[in-house]
Every structure is written in structure tokens, then in C-alpha cells.
Amino acid sequence: MSWEDNVRKVVPYVPGEQPKVADKIKLNTNENPYPPSPKVGNVLKNFDANSLRLYPDPEAFKLTEAIASYYGVDNNKVFVGVGSDDVLAMCFLTFFASSKPILFPDITYSFYDVWAKVFNIPYKTIPLDDDFKISCDDYMQDNGGVIFPNPNAPTGRDMSLSDIEKIVKNNSNQVVIVDEAYVDFGAQSALGLTDKYDNLLVVQTFSKSRSMAGARIGFAIGSKKLISYLNDVKYSFNSYTLSPLSIELGKAAIEDDEYFKKTCSKLIATRENSVDRLKELGFSCIDSKSNFIFAKHKTCSARYIFESLKKKNIFVRYFDKPRIDNYLRITVGTDEQMDIFIKTLKTIVETEK
Ligand code: PMP
């Protein structure tokens, strides 16, 4: 017998690499290539270090209120956390306490099964169809809850709002969570359905469309009852999640709608242009409504391309997993970054021939 017998052993989630080399093109963790709103920069410049002396507002009221006002919902329908990973972890702990398995796609955000395992939540994965689509009929079976991203990751494919509503409506005895980390890049949000269904929780993040992955701000919007249960678990875990600085930075970001819309449109235009150029090089791309492209080449293996790009300090994401091990997930960068990326890719696939 050793103390190690009492250790909870888990296989952790593996985040994308944060390479230390200079002069790299980093297209591997779905960060936004543009800086946050200049108003976020102003908050940083004017931030009073003395405010760090005190514990922050546990409700992060200023930020919660700003998010509520932006989306036109009551303050008590909003929950904030340290990135959407923190919000999602709290959701797993709060809403998935059934002995029945929760359902999520087989190809999806690879944190879901990690949380299920660490919290001892039974789960069942539902295969995406041959086109990598989530089929809503598969989510009508008996379950302890449902979670899926829209658009899905790493495919980037979105789901219609009517299909999402079918899932929510037919699972009224379970909580359904829609992870909308990438929704601002062209998919339809289910936020409007949270008025109609008290079992629907929508989770979003400032990490992608608001260029603030480093600030760690995520939030959930749902019925007052869902948010209240979520807060009970949060306050049983860690009351002070967001720092006073993050609260101020997040508020400034959400209030600058013009900048947000401008950078999202720019990114979408670059994505569409990059998809066209990838197709010319012999890639097929799944229709993406996110800030990344999931692509495979007709002859060249994804692993070979991934490794060849890495040698040239261009980083994309490769998942060595069944069904997707010949795909690359390419985060959309600036036009300049994509230009270098595509030119490098051209030499790689052409010399392989
Ligand atoms: N959901 C999905 C589908 C993601 O890809 C990510 C990013 N890794 C997250 C949630 C978490 O993002 P963050 O914690 O930065 O908000």
C-alpha cells in the first residue's frame, strides 16, 4: 500500500503547443491574429495596481452586466468564468450528475471526455455522419445530458438552429449545453432559444472572436435557474474566479462592438480566400463557420505536411485520432500570414509529388 494508491489518476487534456521559437507563424490553437480592441489596451494602461490589494467582486458584476446588456438578457441569466474551459468544467460538475450517460460527438472538443472522466460522469460518444455532420436524431435517445460545440471543433462545421432546437426540445428532462466558442465566425447562435427552454445553456468565450485568449474570460447564458445552480457549484469550489483586471478588460472588449464586427468580418474574408487557395493546391476543406479550416490533401499525408511545416516554423494542429488522422486544422491568421503559409504549403505538396 502506498499513498499513490489514493491518487486520482487521469489522462489530461493536451493543449496545442505554444512554441518558444521566434519568427514563427502560429496557426495551431485557434487564437485570433488581431489584437484585442484598443479600448482593452486603454484599460491596461490606466489600471490601478492598488486595486489588486482587495479580493475581486465574486460576482464579477461589471462584466456580467456588460455581457447581459450586450445580449439583451437579465443579469441573472449570465455566469462568467476563467475562460470557457472553466465555465464548461463547472457545467459538467453541476448539470451532469445523472447515472445515465451524457452524449457528445465522437469527433469534437477533446476536453469533454477528460472532464467526464475526472468527474466520474458516464458518457457515450455519438459518431458524426460520413460528412462529419452532427445528426440531431442521434441525440433523441435516453441520456443524462447533451453537449456539443456549434460550430463543431475541430471540423468547423455548423448546425442549423432548427436542429439544435429539436435536440433541446426533445431532451427537456436533461440539460443541453451548446458550446459556442466559435459561433461569431458565421454560425447561428442558440442564445435566442434560452428564453424558450429552461434546460438550454449556451457557453461562449472572449478567447476567439474577441482576441483575448490570454485574459481567460468565458461565460454562459441560460435560464435563471440554471445560472443559480451553476453559481452554487462555483461558490463550493472557488468564489474569486475573475481578477479585477480581467473584469475591466472584458467589459471594455464587449462594449466595442464596432471593432469586434470589423475583425470578425476580416477574418471570415481571409478564411474564404484561404479555402479557395487550399482547394487550388489539391486540398478538400470542410465547410467552416469558425476561425479555422479542417483540410486534407488528395495525395500528401497530413502528418507529413504537419511535420514539414513545423520544420519551417509554421505550426498547425494535427490529431493522430481515428477518422481525422489525415486532416490538418489550420487556424486562420492575417492575410500576410496565410500568404506565407500557402506559399510554403505549395512547395511542400509539390515536392512530395
Ligand atoms: N470550446 C471549444 C470547442 C474550444 O475549442 C475551446 C478552445 N480550446 C474552448 C471551448 C475553450 O476556450 P477558452 O477556455 O479559451 O474559452
pLDDT digits (tens, 9 = 90+) for 60-90: 999 999 999 999 999 999 999 999 999 999 9
From the list 307, 91, 97, the residue with the least C-alpha distance to 109 is: 91
Task: Report the distance separating Cα 329 and Cα 308, nearest Å.
Answer: 15
Q: What is the pLDDT of residue 282?
A: 97
Q: How far is the CA of 347 from the centre of ligand 1 (A)?
A: 32
Q: What is the pLDDT of residue 182?
A: 98
Question: Amino acid identity, residue 37?
Answer: S
Q: Does ligand 1 come within 6 angstroms of the Cβ of 81?
A: no
- Which residues touch 133 (CB under 8 Å, ≥6 apart)? 157, 159
Crossing angle for the helix pair 61-71 and 244-255, to the nearest 10 degrees: 20
Q: What is the pLDDT of residue 17?
A: 84
Percent above pLDDT 90 for the chain: 96
Q: Does ligand 1 come within 6 angstroms of the Cβ of 222?
A: no
Q: What is the pLDDT of residue 240?
A: 96
Q: What is the pLDDT of residue 16?
A: 84
Question: What mean pLDDT value characterizes the chain?
Answer: 97
What average pLDDT does range 205-218 have in this prediction? 98
pLDDT surpassing 70 at residue 353: no
- Out of 85, 201, 216, give the residue to mutate to test ligand 1, the one with the largest number of ligand atoms within 8 Å of its CB: 85
352 — pLDDT class (breaks 50, 70, 90):
confident
pLDDT surpassing 90 at residue 284: yes
Q: What is the pLDDT of residue 144?
A: 98
